[in-house]
C-alpha cells in the first residue's frame, strides 16, 4: 500500500525531473527499500525515516538519472518538511 | 439541594463536552499505539486534561493544571506541522508559559474563577479583567496557531492529487480550532458578579462558550474519527493515479525512457 505522503512526494519528484507519477513513486519506494530494508511496511514509515531516505538513498538513485542532484534532493526535503502533517492526517 | 435551572443546562453541556473529548482521546490513544505517531500524545493529553478540568478538583491542583491543554496544543502543532522548520513555536510557547505563571500568581492573591463565585472589591476589578485577558491571550494564541497551521496546509494541498477526505480533515480541524479561539473574545464579556451562571449575562456567556466548545469537540470527533462512509462520500469524485507493478529493472528502464523522451505532465 502506498501512503499519501509517498504519493505526494512521488508526484512532486515526477514534476521536478520530468517522469510519470507512478514511475517517481516507484523510485521513492525503491529508495525506501534501499535505506530501511525491503520488508519495511510503508505505512510504518515516519518523518525522520523519510528525511533519511531522501538525503541518502534517493540521492544515490538520482545520481544515475539527473544532473542537478543536490537541488532535486533539497526540493524534495523542502516538500516533505512543509507537508509533514500529511503523515499524521492520512494515518489516523 | 435542587440544582438551579441555569446551572443544570450548563451541567448538561459540560457533560456532553467531557464525553466527546474522552471518546476522541481514547480513539487517538489507540491510533497512536497502532501507528507509532507519538506526536499525537500532546493532543491526547489536551483532550484528557480538558475533561479533567471540568471536574470538581481541589483549587490549587486545578490552577496548577489550568492552561496545560493549551500548552499541549502548541506542542502538538509544532511536532505535527513544524518539525525541522522555522516557526513561531518558541515565541508562542514562551508567551503562553509567562501568561500561565502570571495567571497562577494572580490567583494566589485573588481567587478568581470563571464564572466568579466571590464578591470582589471595586479596586480589584482591573485585576479581574487582567485575569480574563490572560485567559483570552492563552486561548487565542494556542488555538489560532493550530487553526492557521491546518488551514495553511490545506491551502497548499487543496489542488494536489490527495484523497479529498484528508483535505476535509485539515479543513474541519482548522475551522474548529479557529472557532474555539473565539472563546478568548467571548469570555472578556463575563461579568464579575458573584451570582455565577444565575446572572443572565453570565449565563448567556456560559452558553455561548460551551456551545462553541461542543462544536469544536464535535469537529474533533468527525475530523479524527471520520467514519469510512464519510471518507467514501468525500472521495466520490476522486480519480487516483493508477500504480504500476514493475520489477526494479523494468522500473529503471521506464524512468530512463521517460527521461530521454520527456514525459508530458499536461501543465503546458
Is the backbone of residue B240 left (phi > 0), alpha (psi -120 to 50) or beta?
beta
A50 contacts on B by Cβ (under 8 Å): none
Does the pLDDT at position A1 exceed 80? no
Chain A segment 15-74 residues within 8 A of B by beta carbon are 15, 17-23, 25-27, 30, 43-44, 46-47, 51, 65-66
* H-state helical runs in B5-163: 5-35, 41-52, 59-65, 68-81, 89-109, 125-157
Here the ipTM equals: 0.93
Structural domain range at position B204: 5-261
Rounded Cα–Cα distance for residues B149 and B156 (Å): 11
End-to-end alpha carbon distance in chain A: 15
B63: left (phi over 0), alpha (psi -120 to 50) or beta: alpha
pLDDT in 10s for each residue of chain B, 268 residues: 455 667 788 888 888 888 999 999 999 999 999 999 999 999 999 999 988 887 778 878 888 888 899 999 999 999 999 999 999 999 999 999 999 999 999 988 888 888 887 888 899 999 999 999 999 999 999 999 999 999 999 999 999 999 999 999 999 999 999 999 999 999 999 998 888 788 889 989 989 998 999 999 999 999 999 999 999 999 999 998 888 888 999 999 999 999 988 777 765 4
Residue A2: closest CA among chain B residues belongs to which residue?
A: B243
- The domain in which residue A14 lies consists of 4-91
Q: Is the dihedral of CA B89, B93, B94, B95 positive or negative?
A: positive
Q: Which residues of B touch A26 (CB under 8 A)?
A: 244, 246, 251, 255
- DSSP, res B235: T
Please judge whether B256 and A14 are an interchain contact, meaning their C-beta atoms are less than 8 angstroms apart.
no
**Residue B154, all three cell numbers:** 490545506
B104/A67 Cα distance (integer angstroms) = 59
pLDDT of residue B249: 93
Q: Are A81 and B243 an interchain contact pair (Cβ–Cβ within 8 Å)?
A: no
Q: How far is CA A47 from CA A24, B16, B17, B262, in A?
A: 19, 36, 33, 31
Q: What percent of chain A has pLDDT over 90?
A: 87
For position B139, what pLDDT does the model report? Answer: 96
User: What cell does A38 get?
Assistant: 525491503
Query: Is residue B54 domain-resident?
Result: yes
Residues on chain B touching A66 (C-beta within 8 angstroms):
259
Q: Do A85 and B153 touch (CB under 8 A)?
A: yes
Q: Which pLDDT does position B268 carry in this prediction? A: 46
What local confidence, expressed as pLDDT, does residue B64 receive? 84
- pTM score of the predicted model: 0.92
Q: Which residues of A touch B162 (CB under 8 A)?
A: 4, 7-8, 86, 90
Residue B32 exposure: Cα atoms within 13 Å on the Cβ side? 15
From chain A residues 1-20, the ones with a CB under 8 A of any chain B CB are 2, 4, 7-8, 11, 14-15, 17-20
Q: How far is B5 from chain A (nearest CA, A)?
A: 40
CB contact under 8 Å between B31 and A30, yes or no, is no
* pLDDT confidence of residue A89: 96
| Residue-wise DSSP of A15-68 | HHHT--HHHHHHHHHHHHHHHH-TT--GGG--HHHHHHHIIIIIHHHHHTT-S-
Is there a contact between A1 and B241 (Cβ–Cβ < 8 Å)? no
Number of domains in chain B: 1
> What is the domain count for chain A?
1
Half-sphere exposure of A49 (CA within 13 A, CB side): 21
Residue B206 in any domain: the answer is yes
Amino acid at each position: 500500500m502506498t501512503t499519501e505522503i509517498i504519493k505526494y512526494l512521488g508526484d512532486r519528484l515526477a514534476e521536478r525531473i520530468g517522469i510519470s507519477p507512478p514511475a517517481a513513486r516507484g523510485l521513492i519506494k525503491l529508495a525506501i527499500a534501499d535505506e530501511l530494508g525491503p520488508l519495511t511496511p510503508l505505512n510504518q514509515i515516519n518523518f525522520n525515516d523519510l528525511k533519511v531516505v531522501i538525503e541518502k538513498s534517493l540521492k544515490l538513485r538520482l545520481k544515475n538519472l539527473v544532473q542537478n542532484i543536490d537541488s532535486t534532493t533539497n526540493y524534495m526535503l523542502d516538500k516533505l518538511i512543509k507537508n509533514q502533517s500529511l503523515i499524521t492526517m492520512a494515518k489516523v | 439541594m435542587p440544582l438551579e435551572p441555569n446551572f443544570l443546562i450548563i451541567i448538561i453541556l459540560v457533560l456532553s463536552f467531557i464525553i466527546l473529548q474522552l471518546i476522541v482521546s481514547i480513539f487517538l490513544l489507540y491510533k497512536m499505539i497502532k501507528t507509532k505517531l507519538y506526536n499525537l500524545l500532546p493532543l491526547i493529553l489536551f483532550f484528557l486534561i480538558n475533561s479533567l478540568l471540568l471536574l470538581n478538583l481541589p483549587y490549587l491542583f486545578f490552577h496548577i493544571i489550568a492552561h496545560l491543554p493549551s500548552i499541549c496544543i502548541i506542542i502538538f502543532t509544532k511536532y505535527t506541522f513544524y518539525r525541522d522548520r522555522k516557526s513561531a513555536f518558541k515565541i508562542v510557547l514562551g508567551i503562553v508559559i509567562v501568561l500561565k505563571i502570571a495567571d497562577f500568581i494572580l490567583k494566589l492573591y485573588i481567587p478568581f474563577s470563571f464564572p466568579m463565585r466571590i464578591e470582589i472589591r471595586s479596586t480589584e476589578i482591573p485585576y479581574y479583567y487582567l485575569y480574563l485577558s490572560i485567559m483570552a491571550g492563552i486561548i487565542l494564541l494556542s488555538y489560532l496557531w493550530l487553526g492557521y497551521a491546518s488551514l495553511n496546509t490545506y491551502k497548499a494541498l487543496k489542488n494536489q492529487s490527495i484523497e479529498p477526505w484528508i483535505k476535509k480533515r485539515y479543513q474541519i480541524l482548522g475551522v474548529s480550532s479557529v472557532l474555539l479561539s473565539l472563546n478568548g473574545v467571548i469570555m472578556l464579556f463575563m461579568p464579575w458578579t458573584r451570582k455565577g451562571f444565575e446572572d443572565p449575562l453570565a449565563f448567556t456567556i456560559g452558553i455561548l462558550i460551551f456551545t462553541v466548545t461542543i462544536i469544536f469537540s464535535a469537529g474533533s470527533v468527525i475530523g479524527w474519527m471520520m467514519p469510512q462512509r464519510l471518507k467514501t462520500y468525500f472521495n466520490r469524485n476522486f480519480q487516483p493515479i493508477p500504480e504500476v507493478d514493475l520489477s526494479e529493472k523494468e522500473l529503471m528502464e521506464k524512468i530512463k525512457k521517460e527521461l530521454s523522451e520527456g514525459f508530458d505532465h499536461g501543465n503546458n
